[in-house]
Structure 1
Amino acid sequence: MSVTTNSPSEKMAHSAIISFLGSGFAAVAALVLTIMVGRALGAEGTGLFYLAVGLFTIASQMLRLGSNSAVIRTIATQRALGTTGHATSVLYIAVVPVLVISVGVAVAVMLLAEPIAGFFVDAGQQEGFASLLRELAFLVSLSAVLAVLHTLTRMLNSVLMFTMLQNILLPAGRVALVGVALWWGMDAFEVVFAWALSIPFWVVVTTGILLPKLRDDRKLRKDRLEQGTTREFWNFSASRGVGAALEICLEWVDVLLVAALRSPAEAGIYAVVTRIVRAGQIIDRAMRVAVSPKIAHHLALGEAHAVRTLHTKATQTMILVAWPFYLTLIFFGQPVLGIFGPEFESGTRVLAVAALGIMILTSTGMLQSLILMGGRSSWQMLVKAISLTLSIGLNIFLIPFWGIMGAAITWTAVIILDASICGFLVYRKMRIGLEIRYVIRSALVAFMVFGCGWLVLRLFSSQSLGALLIGAVVLALVYLLAIIVLRQWLGLGELKVKLLAGRRNA
């Protein structure tokens, strides 16, 4: 007797669960790392750490050239149209330009390390920061290549393998290396180098995992790669690469500007705030990993109704899972920040504003994935360009006067603008909607249990870690019961755990 998961819905649910658990582990690992850094280095050291990590992350994301999304879209589209056996060709198409350009950039960084460091830090820290940039230059190149290899494991091996590599083993290794560096008494820049040190090892491991799958895939080849595939791949990747660069700049530009316009200490507090808030996006990342290939498949076949259903379920899931976390940050942010050290509690109100912004974003669903998997990467590039322009302008105007609160207000304003434009493009131009009644009902249940629950608890208890833990347990139980009782009203009645599914397939 065996248990099988042959239907598309079962496979998608299985992938979503794996992705969610992996993203959850990665988010917890990131928070643990932030706690370690915050408590060991203080606000100023944390600011310097995340200044360097932010620059590394921006460079790595930009040097991928948008190839990640193009790999997913190209292979998913080929499968939908019955074309197989060309994964090796897709790998070459993606990796060779990434490797060549990233190595060139690494050489340039090594030559220009001093002026780059002088732009971001003061004279006393310039030499150490320049030395760090030289050490990280080629690791950034390998990081870009590793991201492409990880994406290919997602398409050739499994979501489980991709999740293990990217969301479990890599983050766990970073936590271990940073922990050793902090225990050894290293400074912020040395800790950053430790954070990046495992990348070459994972490039070798991932390549070894991919080779057997690439050999198996080549055996399925029946004809030559369709002419124009390379051009189509990079036409998509070009605009996606710019869009991804703009997107990662949006994620980090506020931290960098706080460091430049205020101080490393304030940048450290703000970095911790944004890391906490972004931890709630684990469900968004999990849904993208699980659902994006399926969206590309349905869009390639013109199955708009299936895409609408997927989008609705994904949005509901994101709201039901993520909103309780954000509402917790809004009402009980002080004890959460206190975990990172007493210096960080001054960011409580900033945390509430940032959490509200991400709540708004979560309620819009998978707009970015719909645009990208629909082949409209140029749309995303334009939206991100507008959002980044607003972010830089507002941050430069507000940060000198309001500090990190100005950065948080800018964060929320940019999210609202971005979601509004993407919503218009998806709902009006692509004509892919939502079953809005189910989305509203999901938001209402989350708000009534956690919003009202935390408000009552805050009125009658102190802002303490104990109250937070007890309240979280009680509200989680009430919330689970509410979802079970209201599952038909929420449109979740058909979602059943088929514990005995194997009997029908025995």
Structure 2
Amino acid sequence: MTDEAGESRLRSLVSIARGASLYTVGKILSDVGEFVLHLLVSRFLGAGLYGLFAYGKTLAFTALLLTNLGSDTSILKYIPQYEDEPSKRRFLLGLAWLTSFLGAVVVSTLLFVFAPTVASLTLEEPGFVAILRLFAGILFLDTLANLLYATFRAVELIEYEVLADRVIKPVLRVVAVGSVLLVGASVYSVVVAMVVASAVTLFVAIAFFLNRLSIRPTLRGPHATRETVTEYYNYSLPLTAKEAGTVMQGRIDVLIVGIFLSSTAVGVYNVSVLVSSLLYVPLLAFNQLFPPIAARLYANDERADLAAIYRATTRWIFTVSLVIGIFAVVFRAEILTLFGPEFTAGTLVLTLFVVSQLFNCATGPSDSLLMMTDHQYVVMANEWVFGIANVVLNVVLIQQYGFIGAAVASAGVLAVRNLTKVAEVWHFERLHPYSRSFLKPLFAGAVAALGMLAVDALLPSLPAVALGAVVGTVVYAGVLFSFGIEPVDRQAYEEVAGARDSAD
């Protein structure tokens, strides 16, 4: 490998690491805000009303997958791919924005109009229709904001997405929701407060876009041709169908729990899923800038760099997520007790989802790699096959085993789906993300688990959680350092740290 090729690869890894570090800071703040938000609602309103809130929020989040119509991923692919053709990427950006805007109008309107029907089929509780209609407004606002966030990521200016979506919005939500709860407001007022937070965040994101980015979407120009439109929809339409399949996997389990069980069951189940989603943070973080970089490397036929970046990124994701997963399993009861004593019924649900999320993180950005290497139809087929399997298994197992059955179905499908994607990347591109360096975090995780279990056995609940987190992290990091730092990790860290020092 030439020095120039090595520097190019390092620059790509540094960009991914920089994006991940920025996103992680924002995600930590966002997750703390989300945790406090759910904690406030569950504590002030109880498991039943919290279940209504969580169910409506899940419906809006699920519908958000449909309103994108593949536009966010299309932006991540085409903006870097056509960086040397500014007029074409402006047109493709305009096409993506228009497509997603129309999708937001249609889906939000359908949710608003059919809210009574949805309520009658799921949670027939007083006031639930009004709550759903408010979430339809949040759905529309968040869809528009997501278009701006995807544009920031495509030009590798993730800091503006982080600031708007991961810092400002959660702070606004906690302040607004906390304020209305303190004066004794209802669950309806809680959702009104969230609408206000989403609207303010959208205006902030628009201001960032207008002041910080020079690219502007357009539907005119020399590339406004049938060929360009066909190229765009040949990529985005399979992704739209893919998102429909993703709906059947994402949070469909929560929706089916609401159909067959009570709002209290929804609340208990949702909190367990929420806690397990912390493991997803490293994957999301490193996947922020991986897609545009992978798209550029693939378009330039730089396969060696693409393979190296795929391996390093996957190992980073798994290394960070493993210690979080071990902590969540060891202290599962203590963590769930924070939401209220009734939520400890979800300990097995939490454990199952932690295991499935570890499978997810161990396969790295395989899904993004498939999409960036023009295998969008394969991704679409994956989502539909596993989506249908998830729905069928949830319906069958929930009726037999309650929300434990939902966890078995969804966690199992998630694990198998991600292993399948790794196999597909190997089949189509002859790339895989694994090396012997994966053994280091596995061994370190085993030693850290013993340390956490010892703390849990010796101390009462809350002190055990606090000290266990410290002991587990220190032991995990110590064992990893004793094995030695990978050269590429050291180089990437020095580059990122050097860039920060220069900025200071």
Q: Distance in 2 between matches of 1:425 and 1:237?
A: 20
Cα contact 1:438–1:490 (8 A) shared by 2: no
Tell me if 1:198 matches 2:197. Answer: yes
The sequence identity of aligned pairs, in percent, is 22
> What is aligned with 1:117?
119
> What is aligned with 2:165?
166
Q: Distance in 2 between matches of 1:501 and 1:408?
A: 43
2:62 pairs with one of 47, 58, 61:
58
> What is aligned with 2:294?
295
Give 1:218-237 correspondences, 5 Å limit: 224-225=222-223, 227=225, 228-237=227-236
Cα contact 2:42–2:339 (8 A) shared by 1: yes
Are residues 503 and 364 of structure 1, via their aligned partners in 2, closer, same or farther at CA, if it must alter by over 3 Å? closer
TM-score (normalised: structure 2) = 0.90
Q: Distance in 2 between matches of 1:230 and 1:8?
A: 30
Are residues 456 and 481 of structure 1, via their aligned partners in 2, closer, same or farther at CA, if it must alter by over 3 Å? same
Compute the displacement of 1:217 (Å): 3.7
Tell me if 1:455 matches 2:453. Answer: yes
Tell me if 1:134 matches 2:133. Answer: yes
Tell me if 1:38 matches 2:36. Answer: no
Tell me if 1:325 matches 2:324. Answer: yes
> What is aligned with 2:277?
278
Compute the displacement of 1:245 (Å): 3.3
Q: Distance in 2 between matches of 1:404 and 1:104?
A: 32
Greater shift, 290-299 or 181-190, is seen at 181-190
Cα contact 1:85–1:217 (8 A) shared by 2: no
> What is aligned with 1:480?
477
Cα contact 1:110–1:133 (8 A) shared by 2: yes
Q: Distance in 1 between matches of 2:184 and 2:195?
A: 17
Give 1:423-502 correspondences, 5 Å limit: 423-445=422-444, 447-458=445-456, 460-461=457-458, 464-488=461-485, 492-497=489-494
Q: Distance in 2 between matches of 1:256 and 1:346?
A: 19
> What is aligned with 2:19?
15
Q: What is the letter of the counterpart of residue 15 of structure 2?
A: K
Cα deviation, 1:364-383, whole Å, max 9, x if unaligned, reads: 11111111111222211111
Compute the displacement of 1:56 (Å): 1.0
Q: What is the letter of the counterpart of residue 244 of structure 2?
A: A
1:73 pairs with one of 49, 71, 77:
77
Compute the displacement of 1:339 (Å): 1.1
Q: Structure 1 unaligned segments of length 5 or more: list them.
A: none
Q: Structure 2 unaligned segments of length 5 or more: list them.
A: 1-7
Q: What is the letter of the counterpart of residue 410 of structure 2?
A: W
Compute the displacement of 1:37 (Å): 1.6
Q: Distance in 2 between matches of 1:437 and 1:137?
A: 48
Q: What is the letter of the counterpart of residue 56 of structure 2?
A: A
Tell me if 1:368 matches 2:372. Answer: no
SS at match of 2:85: coil
Are residues 355 and 501 of structure 1, via their aligned partners in 2, closer, same or farther at CA, if it must alter by over 3 Å? closer
> What is aligned with 2:413?
414
Q: Distance in 2 between matches of 1:394 and 1:453?
A: 37
Compute the displacement of 1:327 (Å): 0.8
Cα contact 1:334–1:348 (8 A) shared by 2: yes
Tell me if 1:100 matches 2:102. Answer: yes
Q: Distance in 2 between matches of 1:491 and 1:89?
A: 38
Cα contact 2:63–2:107 (8 A) shared by 1: no
Q: Distance in 1 between matches of 2:134 and 2:471?
A: 49
Are residues 296 and 133 of structure 1, via their aligned partners in 2, closer, same or farther at CA, if it must alter by over 3 Å? same
Cα contact 1:312–1:439 (8 A) shared by 2: no
TM-score (normalised: structure 1) = 0.90
Are residues 274 and 16 of structure 1, via their aligned partners in 2, closer, same or farther at CA, if it must alter by over 3 Å? same
Are residues 497 and 392 of structure 1, via their aligned partners in 2, closer, same or farther at CA, if it must alter by over 3 Å? same
Tell me if 1:84 matches 2:90. Answer: no
Greater shift, 223-232 or 161-170, is seen at 223-232
Are residues 503 and 20 of structure 1, via their aligned partners in 2, closer, same or farther at CA, if it must alter by over 3 Å? closer
Q: Distance in 1 between matches of 2:465 and 2:120?
A: 43
Are residues 336 and 378 of structure 1, via their aligned partners in 2, closer, same or farther at CA, if it must alter by over 3 Å? same
Q: Distance in 1 between matches of 2:74 and 2:16?
A: 20
Q: Distance in 1 between matches of 2:437 and 2:24?
A: 21
Q: What is the letter of the counterpart of residue 206 of structure 1?
A: A
Q: Distance in 2 between matches of 1:501 and 1:206?
A: 26
